[in-house]
């Protein structure tokens, strides 16, 4: 089964053709990073307009790379939640219209389900159940994946997501957008023990995260140094911040492993590209005698291949979108988007 997938939830316009949920026939990404870097972050209105300009071109490129015509496509999928609502609507409405014109099923896909499914493309042997750490710009979650369309949230952030904290810290340090890769590169030159930064603990919720205190500590440290005319060691602050994020995420994943008895661990989302996190997860997997699945760097960020992978399993589960299928700025990973209202 060949699925044409569209992704437009943030600042990448992407299209891909995926076969049977596991094989990438094409994967095209048109990034707006350079545009939004001028503003230090994503400007929603600009992102939406960029998607409108790129979505047809990107889709046609995906079909060419896959050596497919529209008639070769068995279904059309698109991210329908969560994300910047104007941006999500572009891909969702384009996907619905294309599916209708072709007389093919339309498959609405949850963006975070897609991030998890990116691992199916890299590891043919990976099947549920498994335990997942989701770490991205908008989400930080611990999820038990009990089936391809069955998810249980066992832990999550109470405020900011890890990726958001990376972007804010990058802005404070003046290294630009996107923050994740910039902080990772700068941290290689610094001492992760130079600055003592807080690691939060949520009372009565040992599997939950909180990053607002860490983010505020970095902002205050930089501000106070500026007020006193002192120069901060940017590389060491980046390294200390990165270490604090890793030390917030990984021990909670370890606790979840012991509580659930999981033997297979998956990481998903843009922060999964972080070198310190990947190394710490390898160490955790060895210590807990678990099999670890890390997405290839090319599939950590937003892309349409992951949407096509998850769409295949949504199709098998009978989760088909109607012509009135809506898009949503927010939705839990546990929700069936075909049945979501409001």
pLDDT at 40 over 90: no
Least confident of 11-25, 34-48, 115-129: 34-48
Does the pLDDT at position 200 exceed 70? yes
Contact 340, 149 (CB under 8 A): no
Claim to verify: residue 311 and residue 274 sit in the same structural domain: no
Pick from 116-125, 159-168, 295-304: least confident: 159-168
Is the pLDDT at 341 greater than 80? The verdict is: no
Whether residues 106 and 137 fall in one domain: no
Does some domain include residue 339?
no
Task: Examine the domain organization and report whether 92 and 140 are in the same domain.
Answer: no
Residue 321 lies in a domain: no
- Say yes or no: 258 and 306 in one domain: no
Pair (204, 145) in one structural domain:
yes
Q: Cα separation of 342 and 332, whole Å?
A: 13
pLDDT confidence bin for 323, thresholds 50/70/90: confident
pLDDT reported for residue 342: 65
Q: Is residue 336 part of a domain?
A: no
The full 3-state SS of the chain, as one line of letters, equals: CEEEEEECCCCEEEEEEEECCCEEEEEEEEECHHHHHCCCCCCHHHHHHHHHHHHHHHHHHHHHHCCCCHHHCCEEEEEEECCCHHHHHHHHHHHHHHHHHHCCCEEEEEHHHHHHHHHHHHCCCCCCCEEEEEECCCCEEEEEEEECCEEEEEEEECCCCHHHHHHHHHHHHCCCCCHHHHHHHHHCCCCCCCCCCCCCCCCCCCCCECCHHHHHHHHHHHHHHHHHCCCCCHHHHHHHHHHHHHHHHHHHHHHHHHHHCCCEEEEECHHHHCHHHHHHHHHHHHHHCCEEECCCHHHCCCCCHHHHHHHHHHHHCCCCECCCCCCCCCCCCCCCCCCCCC
Residues 310 and 279 in one domain: no
In a domain? residue 342: no
Determine the structural domain holding residue 201 and report its residue range.
Answer: 127-297
Q: How many domains are contained in the chain?
A: 2
Do 109 and 139 fall within a single domain? no
What's the average model confidence in pLDDT over 269-283?
Answer: 98
Percent of the chain scoring above 70 in pLDDT: 100
Give the β-pairing of 130-135 and 150-156. Answer: unpaired
Distance (Å) of CA 127 to CA 21, 23, 273: 12, 15, 22
pLDDT(334) > 90: yes
- Same domain flag for 101 and 186: no
In a domain, 190, yes or no: yes
Say if residue 10 is exposed, middle or buried (CB neighbours under 10 Å; 0-12, 13-18, 19+): buried
304 plus 290 within the same structural domain = no
* Cβ contact 167:137 at 8 Å: yes
Mean model confidence pLDDT for the chain: 96
114-137 as b/e, with b when 16 or more CB fall inside 10 Å? bbbbbbbbbbeebebebbbbbbbb
Residues 33 and 138: their CA atoms lie apart, in Å, by: 17
Do 141 and 289 sit in the same domain of this protein? yes
- Is 87 within 8 Å of 42 (Cβ atoms)? no
Query: Do 80 and 337 touch, CB atoms closer than 8 A?
Result: yes
CATH of the domain at 161: 3.30.420.40
* pLDDT (average), residues 150-178: 94
Summarised one tens digit per residue, pLDDT across range 112-150 is 999 999 999 999 999 999 999 999 988 999 999 999 999
Contacts of residue 54, Cβ cutoff 8 Å, sequence gap at least 6: 13, 30
97 and 192 share a domain? no
Helix axes 234-260, 275-288, angle to 10 degrees: 30
């Amino acid at each position: 089964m060949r699925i044409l997938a569209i992704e437009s939830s943030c600042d990448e316009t992407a299209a891909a053709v995926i076969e049977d949920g596991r094989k990438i026939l094409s994967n095209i990404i048109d990034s707006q990073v350079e545009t939004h870097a001028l503003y230090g972050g994503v400007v929603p209105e600009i992102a939406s307009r960029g998607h409108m300009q790129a979505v047809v071109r990107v889709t046609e490129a995906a079909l060419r790379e896959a050596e497919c015509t529209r008639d070769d496509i068995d279904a059309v999928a698109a991210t329908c939640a969560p994300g910047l609502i104007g941006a999500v609507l572009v891909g969702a409405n384009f996907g619905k219209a294309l599916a209708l014109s072709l007389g093919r099923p339309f498959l609405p896909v949850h963006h975070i389900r897609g991030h998890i499914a990116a691992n199916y493309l890299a590891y043919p042997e990976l099947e549920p159940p498994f335990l997942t750490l989701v770490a991205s710009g908008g989400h930080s979650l611990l999820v038990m994946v009990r089936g391809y369309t069955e998810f249980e949230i066992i832990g999550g952030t109470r405020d900011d997501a890890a990726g958001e904290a990376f972007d804010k810290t990058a802005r404070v340090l003046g290294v630009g957008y996107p923050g994740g890769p910039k902080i990772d590169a700068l941290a290689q030159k610094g001492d992760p023990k130079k600055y003592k930064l807080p690691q939060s603990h949520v009372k009565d919720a040992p599997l939950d995260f909180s990053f607002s205190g860490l983010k505020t500590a970095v902002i205050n440290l930089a501000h106070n140094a500026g007020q006193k005319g002192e120069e901060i060691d940017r590389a060491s602050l980046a390294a200390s911040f990165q270490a604090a994020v890793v030390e917030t995420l990984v021990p909670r994943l370890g606790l979840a492993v012991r509580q659930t008895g999981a033997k297979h661990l998956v990481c998903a989302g843009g922060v999964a590209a972080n070198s310190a996190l990947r190394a710490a997860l390898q160490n955790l997997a060895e210590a807990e005698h678990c099999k670890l699945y890390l997405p290839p760097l090319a599939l950590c960020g937003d892309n349409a291949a992951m949407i096509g992978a998850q769409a295949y399993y949504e199709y098998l589960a009978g989760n088909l979108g109607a012509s009135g299928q809506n898009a949503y700025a927010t939705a839990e990973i546990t929700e069936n988007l075909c049945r979501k209202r409001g």
